[in-house]
Amino acid sequence: MVILCLFFSVVMYFTGLISFCMKRNHLLLMLLSLEFVMLSLYMSLYLYLMFFNYEFYFSMVFISMSVCEGALGLAILVSMVRTHSNDYFQSFNVLW
């Protein structure tokens, strides 16, 4: 059962990476795929800790860092939409 869940986690990870690479035009889709990758990593970390009967303290640290990463990404998205009125990377130029 653990092997099946670990396989599912690996499939989730690679699906998130593929969607991250394919949807690189919109910032919102990239943030969603990054959160999907973090969710799959959290699931595999939880399974690893459960399999070896370790404590789950590190998983709490990992999920709090993932939430901070998501909040930072949303803040960048809001500032980009306010300044450029969309979330396309083609209209965003750092040199201007």
In the chain, where the domains are located: 2-84
CATH 1.10.3720.10 fits 2-84, yes or no: no
Predicted TM-score of the model (pTM): 0.85
**Chain centroid, CA 16 distance in Å:** 8
Express each pLDDT in 51-79 by its tens digit.
899 899 999 999 999 999 999 999 988 98
What is the band of 37 on the pLDDT scale with cuts at 50, 70, 90? very high
Strand, helix or coil for residue 26: strand
In sequence order, the 6+-apart residues with CB closer than 8 A to the CB of 87 are 26, 27, 28, 77, 80, 81
Question: In this predicted structure, what is the pLDDT of residue 76?
Answer: 87
